[in-house]
Amino acid sequence: MNQAETPQLTIASVGVASGGGPWRLSFSVGNAGVAPVQLLEAWMPHVVLRAPAQNCASMPALAPGTSVELAFSVDYHPRKDASEPANPFVILRVRWRGADWRVLIQLALSHGDGGAPVVQPALTTAHRVGFSAGL
């Protein structure tokens, strides 16, 4: 699937984590494509960084070239053993061109001052909901 066939979202960390537990993590989500994108739901399901699903359906659709800030209240449980993989990510469920999509944002994780999680988006992929039904 080429880029013109998927929603084109950009995501960036905003500021630093705050709160001390649960931690507040914020991301800027932008529409770099040519068609509007409606955010429907956002969550962080990983055991290391976990935030419950939040309903975004009442937010205005992201017009091309616009962005919105999403904030999560995150439970952070660093791995005790550095050799254990920590592969946290953000999942967005969006509607684009009449179809529902899941956008997965893999996060690079490190530790900041006071044990705060420091995250940077590392890889973003988009998959149409139900794409594997015919496999």
Domain-wise residue ranges, the chain: 3-128
Architecture of the domain made up of 3-128: Sandwich (2.60)
Distance of CA 69 to the CA centre of its chain: 11
For range 9-30, the mean pLDDT: 91
Pick the residue with more confidence: 16 or 90? 90
Q: What local confidence, expressed as pLDDT, does residue 15 receive?
A: 85
- Adjacent-strand bridge partners of 68: 29
Report the predicted TM-score, pTM, of the whole model to 2 decimal places: 0.89
Pick the residue with more confidence: 112 or 49? 49
| Nearest-angstrom CA–CA distance, 102 and 87 | 17
pLDDT, tens digit, for every residue of 39-72?
999 999 998 899 999 999 999 999 999 999 999 9
Q: Name the residue among 30, 62, 50 with its Cα closest to residue 117.
A: 50
For range 115-135, the mean pLDDT: 84
CA 55 to each of CA 70, 82, 92, 119, 129: distance values in angstroms, whole numbers, following the listed order: 11, 34, 10, 22, 17
